[in-house]
Structure 1
Amino acid sequence: MKRFKRIFVVVIDSLGIGAMDNAAQYGDEGSDTLGHIDASVDHLLLPHLEKLGLGNLCALNHVKPVAEPMAYYGRLNEASVGKDTMTGHWEMMGLYITKPFKTFTDTGFPKELLEELEKRTGHKIVGNKSASGTEIMDELGEHQIATGDMIVYTSADSVLQICANEDTFGLQELYRCCEIARELTLKDEWKVGRVIARPYVGMKKGEFKRTANRHDYALKPFGTTALNLLKDKGLDVISVGKIFDIFDGEGLTEGNKSQSSVHGMEQTIEIAKRDFNGLCFVNLVDFDALWGHRRDPVGYGAELERFDEKLGELLPLIKDDDLLLITADHGNDPTFKGSDHTKERVPLLAYSPSYGNCKELKERNTFAVIGATVLDNFGLHKDKDMIGEPIEELL
């Protein structure tokens, strides 16, 4: 018998809460996303997260512990190798990743890959570096229009992005080239999580604008996930934000694209007003993309405050037979060296109005306890190759 009819899993993308024991293997010893943001800002007003127990979980200047937290609270460690978005989310839903997805942030893509991509597509390549999409568009857009070259670039994530003018290069041609890139990057030594088509319009610097015709070519999960099992049972599996791209649509019954993290919370609030039976899985990416990678602790703190405000609108919509799980997928300490993710523990806040006397949960050694808990709630069992055990205190 299920206890909860609706479960909401909200991922604050990159909100780590301190380095894992093996962080030194990743060059991340001493990282602490939330702690260092808290120490870097003059204020961090998170009244709703405070009531749930965030200050009981972490020693923070601006978020205090409370005597009677509204949520169970605990720390999760990542079992998989790697510290990227896909690894974190796939592990949450039961997969154990032994080979991290490739990133080319510091080096650009290897010559052999670019030569093969040029040969197969018939277009020369410019760029080949880690860059902001808007900045590289301004830098190389006029050249791209004049020559028909492709702008290829990456970021701190495991992505290969191809940027081209929608009118002069052609949208279908851009998609064709991305499909070739996806095929090439299935090789282990070039295996990125996603290839992304980045079309834009405009004819000169300062006027270029991205269009809504972005298309992600993601790897499909290599095994059965909790999402597949829920969908196969006839339950609703609703995604908000990047979740659809992260799982390439696998195991989902509904996808909702978000324009921002605030918009993602607004979509979640609207979904909470609906009647459904199953899981709503939410990713809020701005924390990572706009503030973590750009090493902006003040901007990150302000984004947390905006999240907390929307959380205040969501909480009254959570019913006695609902469960809200708030967590993260990795760290991205905006005060740390470089611009990469950081190997950190992540928080877990578990709230239902039906709970009473909420306490600290013991520290878990995998994010997969989230998917396992969701499955157990609906009377389902994980496949033999999946990892994670349900958190009994929550059910």
Structure 2
Amino acid sequence: MINRVTLIVLDSVGIGALPDADEYGDVNSNTLGNIIKKIGSLNIPNLRKLGIGNINGVDYLESASDPIGAFGKSLEKSKGKDTTTGHWEIGGIILEEPFPTYPNGFPKSIMDKFEEMIGRKTIGNKPASGTEIIKELGNEHVRTGYPIVYTSADSVFQIAAHEDIIPLSELYGMCEKARGFLQGENGVGRVIARPFVGKGGEYVRTSHRHDYSLKPIHETFLDIIKESGMEVKAVGKIVDIYSGAGITESVHTESNMDGVNKTLEYMQEDFRGLIFTNLVDFDMKYGHRNNVAGYANALEEFDKRLPEIFDNMSDKEVLIITADHGCDPTTDSTDHSREYIPILVYGENIKPTNIGVRDSFSDIGATVLELLNLKSMRNGNSFYDIIRTK
């Protein structure tokens, strides 16, 4: 009997372009593969032991002769390639239509309404890199007090503000107002607070980012686990992505390693249910900034922590490592990429085997529910029968 699952999302660690990647401009994207090709090698022995190099199509990484985990990859059924879409699909929500995006900035009707609600003018209103736009407009923001509004290729309404000019509480309030009216046809996946500090020319974003997602459109695996009386403990931005639905306890993080530390703290507690962790640095700090060396180093840092995670697992616990989309730092684009995600499963009662290519990220959530002996959800096919030892 399995008492607990620890599910870790390596945010944006895709492993190769999906068959429909050409529709998204991502035909040559391969986050993990292109990083390895660019730098020559990657020291991730523990992920290799789990079987990441044994996954179908991962021919750019040496396979393990005797992997200790089950391994495979998954297609994405939902339309889109953003964080909310990927996580929601893991949880059992398939989106037939992608969240709206604004490649030319937000229409005047949205900006007029937002400015009226917050009582200030805004600047920006265009797709941009978060680090670049505060370089470009940071001084004007400090001088005028006008918040910087920007978007990206993803479905996001982002508000950047200097913490000394617009206090965090006021910035968060602005985001809540934006989230309140950005619904329906203008229902962006996330409204994001992007606070920064520093002086002219040397602005840096802080760890006080906060995401305001739409409420999940129907029940997810988190709701089912919570309603069964088990715990759902969220690490990192998971609580934001699901807008708190189905979560019993949460903690935000300052970095990948802080996320691992907080995951380990939860693992040392005695409870039944799910630990659900998102490690966002891969995406936020390295993928979107096309920082290949930083991304590679972050992968190696995580790999070094895996023995601690293994050591803190009970014989009734299962570890699943996956991703939510790609964000290939080697391409010209700084946006997410439409890619397969890896699935690695490890535990005392897990058979090392190839689970093949799954039809949907929802197969992960469905498997978590079956591992915990709970009812199934509306989407997803469990692969527990393939990986169970008996």
- TM-score by length of structure 1 reads 0.90
What secondary structure does 1:361 align onto?
strand
Pick from 167, 174, 191 the counterpart of residue 177 of structure 1. 174
Alignment match, 2:9: 11
Pick from 102, 107, 117 the counterpart of residue 104 of structure 2. 107
Q: How does 1:276-315 map to 2 (within 5 A)?
A: 276-315=271-310
Pick from 201, 220, 226 the counterpart of residue 225 of structure 1. 220
What secondary structure does 1:127 align onto?
strand
Pick from 373, 379, 389 the counterpart of residue 387 of structure 1. 379
The amino acid of 1:94's aligned partner reads G
List per-residue Cα deviations over 1:346-370 (Å, max 9, x = no partner). 11111013335x2211311001111
Alignment match, 1:33: 31
What secondary structure does 1:112 align onto?
helix
- Do the aligned partners of residues 351 and 27 (structure 1) sit closer, same or farther apart at CA in structure 2, a change above 3 Å counting? same
Pick from 87, 90, 93 the counterpart of residue 88 of structure 2. 90
List per-residue Cα deviations over 1:108-163 (Å, max 9, x = no partner). 22233212222333311112233444543444344334323222122443221223
Q: Distance in 1 between matches of 2:207 and 2:296?
A: 28
Corresponding pairs, count? 386
Cα pair 1:156 1:293 within 8 Å, conserved: no
What secondary structure does 1:333 align onto?
coil
Structure 1 runs (4+) greater than 6 angstroms displaced: none
Q: Distance in 2 between matches of 1:334 and 1:213?
A: 24
Cα pair 1:266 1:310 within 8 Å, conserved: no
Alignment match, 2:63: 65
What secondary structure does 1:334 align onto?
coil
The amino acid of 1:364's aligned partner reads R
The amino acid of 2:18's aligned partner reads M
- Do the aligned partners of residues 360 and 154 (structure 1) sit closer, same or farther apart at CA in structure 2, a change above 3 Å counting? same
What secondary structure does 2:355 align onto?
coil
What secondary structure does 2:229 align onto?
coil
Q: Distance in 2 between matches of 1:218 and 1:22?
A: 26
CA drift of 1:167 comes to 4.7
The amino acid of 2:122's aligned partner reads I
Gaps of 5+ in 2: none
Q: Distance in 2 between matches of 1:209 and 1:342?
A: 25
Q: How does 1:198-217 map to 2 (within 5 A)?
A: 198-200=194-196, 204-205=199-200, 214-217=209-212
Alignment match, 1:361: 355
- Do the aligned partners of residues 215 and 32 (structure 1) sit closer, same or farther apart at CA in structure 2, a change above 3 Å counting? closer
Q: Are positions 1:80 and 2:78 aligned together? A: yes
- Do the aligned partners of residues 142 and 73 (structure 1) sit closer, same or farther apart at CA in structure 2, a change above 3 Å counting? same
Alignment match, 1:237: 232
The amino acid of 2:336's aligned partner reads H
What secondary structure does 2:40 align onto?
coil
Gaps of 5+ in 1: none
Cα pair 2:353 2:387 within 8 Å, conserved: no
Alignment match, 1:270: 265
Cα pair 2:235 2:253 within 8 Å, conserved: yes
Cα pair 2:232 2:274 within 8 Å, conserved: yes
**Larger mean Cα displacement after TM superposition, 193-202 or 42-51:** 193-202
Q: Distance in 1 between matches of 2:50 and 2:6?
A: 15
List per-residue Cα deviations over 1:50-108 (Å, max 9, x = no partner). 111111115445x421221100111111111111111111011111111212233x422
Q: Distance in 2 between matches of 1:133 and 1:336?
A: 18
**Larger mean Cα displacement after TM superposition, 142-151 or 48-57:** 142-151
Q: Distance in 2 between matches of 1:135 and 1:23?
A: 27
Q: Distance in 1 between matches of 2:71 and 2:194?
A: 39
- Do the aligned partners of residues 128 and 73 (structure 1) sit closer, same or farther apart at CA in structure 2, a change above 3 Å counting? same
Alignment match, 1:195: 191
List per-residue Cα deviations over 1:278-335 (Å, max 9, x = no partner). 1001111111112212222222111110110011221122222111111111112222
Alignment match, 2:341: 346
- Do the aligned partners of residues 233 and 327 (structure 1) sit closer, same or farther apart at CA in structure 2, a change above 3 Å counting? same
Q: Distance in 1 between matches of 2:41 and 2:11?
A: 21
Q: Distance in 2 between matches of 1:112 and 1:74?
A: 46
Cα pair 2:84 2:190 within 8 Å, conserved: no
CA drift of 1:9 comes to 0.7
Cα pair 1:16 1:347 within 8 Å, conserved: yes
Alignment match, 1:152: 149
Identity of matched residues, %: 45
Alignment match, 2:256: 261
CA drift of 1:184 comes to 3.0
